Structure 1
Amino acid sequence: MSPYWPVVRDRVFGRVLPGLALSAIGDGMSAVAIGWLAVQYAPHHQRGLWVGLAIAAYTLPGALGAIVLAPLLRGRGGAHLVALDALLRAVFLGAVPLLAAFDALTIGRYAALLAGSALLSAWGSAGRYTLVAQVLPADLHLPANALLTLITEASTVAGPILAGLLIGALGAPAVLAVDAATFAALAVCFAAVRARAPLPSPEHRSAGLATICRDRELLGLTVLSFWFFLLFGPLPVAMPLFASSAQEIGMLYTCFGIGAVIGAIATGHLPRLPLWPATIGSVIAFGLLLMPLGMGLPRWADLLTLALAGLAWSPYPATSVSLFQRAVPAERLPPVLAARGVVLVISTPLGTLLGAPLVQAAGPAATLVACGAATAALGLVAVLVRLRARAGLGAYATSSSTLR
């Protein structure tokens, strides 16, 4: 029996899966449109900079929302958090095609609307994985997390192709109109959900970052994720300049998505997968596979390499979140995952902002090689840290046994 079947059949979680899938397709389309629309509206000599700013604006404000709005959102259930995030995104993204239709859209207004749409992104992400822990038993957390990754990555297969066709027919603003509509549907879908698990009591509404800092493993995982996503940040800036058309961007993202879908399916079928080795191995493999993209290979080789990179990437979201779900009780997860979201929301756009001048100066090919090499080195450092920590624990256990 498929490990995904009990997840899909769950009375609560199964009800929201169609909304998640529909919204993911919209996101897969906007992954192409956001950068491409920035290229169209930005001054020609500042395209790389504005692409980086637009992509960062679509994620970075989530860190501000996670901190400033914590007193209002920390005690809410996972489904409520997703609904609020989806509603906000629908409103702000829907304003982009509306302004474009009246010739009132500028690159500055575009970046501001993207920033407004991202204000609750960390809480929305935390809400998804909190709902997994609230309504599903622990042995289904990994396949459920893998299913969420599968939905996200499957959207990168169909979404970019649809985006390329829609951009060619109606323009990039139409893609964001579709994405806004899918977020509206997602908000309706989650607004009707009532999670079975109790909400956190006041004494459990502690700061999520403090909880992470008190746990050495969670702190190490958060640091690893920060640097992993930071080094991933320059890629969305490099891709629009690495490709020669919106359709080619779509093909590159689609190949990555195909590999990621295969990897996500495989991850869900491995219930005994060792979480830490799989997490670190994903980082190393992704970095090594990223490097050949900037070495002037034929385009078919680039597409194959991106598919393999997607295969290597896909276990990381599921295994890293499973480590959090294993360490933190469900009623305390929202602020902890939101704090983790702050770190990721900061790291990716920070990498994008740092990558923009790097792409401008060194070019997209050299940027891909540098990011791949640095990512693989990060994974090797994580291996050494884990081995050293385990050796230290072993020595401590031996000395304690001797004293007894």
Structure 2
Amino acid sequence: MLRDRRIAGLLLGDLLANVGTGMLLVAMPVQTLSLHGGVPKAIAIGLVEAAPFVLSTLLALAIGLGRVRVPPRTLLVADCVLRSLTFATLGVLAVAGLLTLPVLVAGLLFGATFRLAGSSSRRLLATSAAGEAGRFSVNGLLGLNTTFALYIAGPVLGGVVVATAGAGFALFVDAGGALILLAATLACVPQPAEPPERPEGSGWRILRRRPVAARLLVVEFFFNFLYMPIEVALPLYVTGTLHAGASGLGWLWGALGAGAFLGAALVGRLRNLPQRPLLVAIIGLWALCPIGLALTGDLTVALLVFGLGGLVYAPFTPVAYSFLQAGLAPGEQQPVVTLWTTGATVAAPLGLALGGPLIELAGSTGGLVLSGVLTLLLLPIAACVIRGSAPGRGLRHPEPPKSDRAVLGRTPEREPTCA
């Protein structure tokens, strides 16, 4: 896959952009705690974490549920431009000491308008360039990018930047990452020769033709929903229970990323396993992670627990997306993938909105335990929901994939127009 310059360039831009976003996992809670004022800490963190999802969810739902089609390249360019301008402005205000909590929330709300549409567009552009035979590999590489950048390089660098220069400087790095992705998109993804194909029906109507995929989306929604309180609890858990600062939070996210990086690297070896039991097992093993965190007050043990959590969770998204995209016509990819991404991600603001009051009442360790226990209760529901039959066997491709070399040698007439 990486021998194709278009795919390699887009994946490199995606990687570097995600590093900046990963730095914000550490920087934004620290920034929030420095200016929350009279707002309770957990509530303030929840507001800041949820803000980027609100407008972006509305836009993505309009694309996934409606009939209007915007080329993925256009959406990704818009995301990069708006994100770079907005986050650079927030960085200037933070460095100048003029940033307030309402301004930060408003900036994240507006600057991330195209976040979900841009995220699904990255996947669509990369997988369409790879073709059907290379889809599983590219989804795995995107997962590898995300885990390395968001949970290893980004948080570790974020901890260093916050400790040495201040949280505001991480906003500049994220703005710079968006500009790099913009350059990669303009250079590696040509303009579509024709308008995007209009599918028959909305993304939800198309998704309903594959009942197992629709039910799996419901499972993923609640899986993500029950995870989100962890993001609210973690900064307070690090400073309170572990007695560590920003660097400790960075190392904790880095441990998750290290485990997830290894898990993502092994995704290709899992493609021939029974995928439904694998997905259920991932949910159960991940549920033990926040419970394990709550039971320890030692940073080293916490790093090990979170690293194992990343290892078991990493294969979930690549396998789920590869299953989803298999069997869809080219014109059906954008509304369905955008709707799936939105449905899976809309759990984030809802979970964060619940997470703030929950952590405020139960405390950081109590919230971690509750998140794990509720996720364990999801296990029998998940096993029942994804047990039904679907075209093909398990979640595998209906037909054996061609070799990657065959994809790279396909004729130009058969290349996807959106790439």
- Alpha-carbon distance in structure 2 between the residues aligned to 1:32 and 1:377: 30
Q: Which residue of 2 aligns with 1:378?
A: 378
After superposition, the C-alpha distances for 1:171-226 in whole angstroms (9 at most, x for unaligned) are 10100111111111111211231278965423x16321222234311210110111
Contact 2:63 2:339 in 1 (8 A): no
- Alpha-carbon distance in structure 2 between the residues aligned to 1:292 and 1:61: 35
Q: Which residue of 2 aligns with 1:344?
A: 344
After superposition, the C-alpha distances for 1:75-132 in whole angstroms (9 at most, x for unaligned) are 3333333222122211111111112234321100100000112211121121122123
What is the aligned-residue RMSD (CA, Å)? 2.2
- Shift in CA distance, 277/9, structure 1 to aligned 2, threshold 3 Å: farther
Are residues 1:316 and 2:310 paired? no
Aligned pair count reads: 383
Q: Which residue of 2 aligns with 1:176?
A: 171
Which range moves more in the overlay, 338-347 or 312-321? 338-347
Contact 1:149 1:318 in 2 (8 A): yes
Please point out which of 23, 35, 55 is paired with 1:61. Answer: 55
Please point out which of 23, 31, 53 is paired with 2:25. Answer: 31
TM superposition shift of 1:24: 1.4
Any gaps of 5 or more consecutive residues in structure 2? 240-244, 391-419
SS at match of 1:58: helix
Q: Which amino acid aligns with 1:184?
A: L
Q: Which amino acid aligns with 1:320?
A: A
Contact 2:76 2:117 in 1 (8 A): yes
Are residues 1:52 and 2:43 paired? no
Q: Which amino acid aligns with 2:262?
A: I
Which range moves more in the overlay, 266-275 or 91-100? 266-275
- Structure 2 length-normalised TM: 0.86
TM superposition shift of 1:68: 4.5
TM superposition shift of 1:280: 2.5
Contact 2:15 2:146 in 1 (8 A): yes
- Alpha-carbon distance in structure 2 between the residues aligned to 1:274 and 1:127: 29
Any gaps of 5 or more consecutive residues in structure 1? 1-6, 392-404
Q: How does 1:2-401 map to 2 (within 5 A)?
A: 7-43=1-37, 46-68=40-62, 74-155=68-149, 156-192=151-187, 193-194=189-190, 200-202=196-198, 204=199, 206-244=201-239, 245-387=245-387, 389-390=388-389
SS at match of 2:99: coil
SS at match of 2:40: helix
Contact 1:87 1:183 in 2 (8 A): yes
TM superposition shift of 1:139: 3.0
| Higher fraction of helix | 1
Q: Which amino acid aligns with 2:351?
A: G
Contact 1:135 1:196 in 2 (8 A): no
Contact 2:260 2:312 in 1 (8 A): yes
SS at match of 2:74: helix
- Shift in CA distance, 266/182, structure 1 to aligned 2, threshold 3 Å: same
